Amino acid sequence: MPGLVPGIHVFLFGDKQDVDGRDKPGHDGIEALTELHSKMLFTADHDEPRRALQKFIAAEINPHVDEWEKADIFPAHELFKKLGDLGFLGLNKPVEFGGQGLDYSYALMMAEELGAITCGGVPMAIGVQTDMATPALARFGSDEVRREFLVPAIAGDQVACIGVSEPGAGSDVASIKTHARSDGDDYVINGGKMWITNGTQADWICLLANTSDGQVHRNKSLICVPMKTRGVQVARKLDKLGMRSSDTAQIFFDNVRVPKRNRIGEEGQGFTYQMIQFQEERLWGAAACLKAHEFIINQTIDYTRGRKAFGGSILDNQVVHFKLAEMQTEVELLRSLIYRAGEALVAGEDVTRLATMAKLKAGRLGRELTDACLQYWGGMGFTNETPVSRAYRDSRLTSIGGGVDEVMLMVLCKMMGTLPGLKQKGNA
């Protein structure tokens, strides 16, 4: 039986040592427990890219977050180019198209580290580039279409977005109305997409459209559409509750003509490809919450320890320190679920069930955790100058984007055989 991992210390009752034994100010045992847990999925090979990403976030992103939040946008092309030069936009993408050719555990590592960015909008935009708009392209696209769209996305030379949701079809993907009519060697696209992250800055969109009038799960295709194509109109930039630094657009397509060679994989398989793509999107969204949640817990500990009321600190109240301990426990449980799903995905297993559970839990936890922490900040929590108010607003999207909580529950019930209307096992 293997022994304890060298360098990992278990802390009780206030010992403040880092995982390497050095004294440090901070929060007892959180970092050490996280590192111990991660050894199951991550190896020493993950350490160097993890440290490089942490350094990049600290130097190139977090110092600018407040500015980008106030501007309601961040410079996607500039930032993505820097990330591309470091190899972070294609960790698990094919080497022949500029990727690193690594397994999914590296993408999951990146998603978790992006949670250290002190807002939700920037990591979400990066995640769209790496885990939402490009997985199907990398897996099913022809060499020609991958050279045209995947290569510049991995290099950071182009910004991508994913076009699935519509005003009348958000979580109900099968009901989309955008249509790509066949005309010789081209598709002629008409329709519109809504809530498109990176939409005002994107160079191309991975578009889900109906390419026939057949059965709704077999009549859709994924098509790469350059945003400068005639007839593509970015109608407006949406004014959102949170995720302020991320640009989100409504987009219309008016007789947009693109060659059929821009289609990803087989015609009519777009719904299936998108469902597969959703696995990585939902798992990414859950993983990106982990460090964000821990940051807010730690910020709340610091604030409530220093805030005095009724003869003691706010933190001294049992309801406060017990609740924070409970929330940290919930974050660790979520991490366990995510890591289990990550291991399964690396092993080539279908992770629909686990990814759906992780996405559901991440959204629910984000709402509960940020609400509780904001309450402990009192009046300051209701101002926009505190990190907890930004987290409160940003985290709310996790229960909506990539499929609302209710759809996640429907997926799970269907897999459990409990969704009304399904033929039950053993019944005629």
At residue 11, the pLDDT reads 27
The neighbour count for residue 322, using CB atoms within 10 Å, is: 10
192: left (phi over 0), alpha (psi -120 to 50) or beta: beta
Q: Quickly tell me which residue has 């998108």 as its tokens.
A: 274
Classify burial at 48, counting beta carbons within 10 Å of its beta carbon; exposed 0-12, middle 13-18, buried 19 or more.
exposed
Query: What's residue 329's pLDDT?
Result: 98
Q: E strands along 148-306, which residues?
A: 160-163, 179-183, 186-197, 204-210, 220-226, 232-237, 248-259, 263-264
For 196-222, the DSSP string reads EETTTT-SEEEEEEE-SSS-TTTSEEE
User: What pLDDT was estimated at residue 427?
Assistant: 42
The reported pLDDT for the residue numbered 17 is 38
pLDDT of residue 9: 28
Q: What is the mean pLDDT of the segment spanning 94-110?
A: 98
**421, 416, 401: which is closest to 120 by C-alpha?**
401
Report the mean per-residue pLDDT for the chain: 91
Between 17 and 135, the higher pLDDT residue: 135
Secondary structure (DSSP) of 28-57: TTHHHHHHHHHTTT--GGGHHHHHHHHHHI
349 part of the active site: no
Whether the per-residue pLDDT at 13 is higher than 60: the answer is no
d(C-alpha 211, C-alpha 262), whole Å: 13
**What is the distance between the alpha carbons of residues 353 and 222, in angstroms, rounded to a whole number?**
24
Task: Find how far residue 114's CA is from the centre of its chain.
Answer: 9
* Domains of the chain as residue ranges with CATH: 30-155 (1.10.540.10), 160-269 (2.40.110.10), 273-416 (1.20.140.10)
- Exposure pattern of 218-239 as b/e (b: 16+ CB <10 Å)? ebbbbbbbbbeeeebebeeebe
For the chain, percent of residues with pLDDT exceeding 70: 89
Summarised one tens digit per residue, pLDDT across range 166-182 is 999 988 899 999 999 99
CA–CA dist 362, 405 (Å, integer): 10
From 96, 281, 294, 332, the catalytic residue: 281
Residue 35's pLDDT is 56
Q: Are 344 and 356 in contact (CB under 8 A)?
A: no
User: For residue 5, is pLDDT > 70?
Assistant: no
pLDDT of residue 380: 97
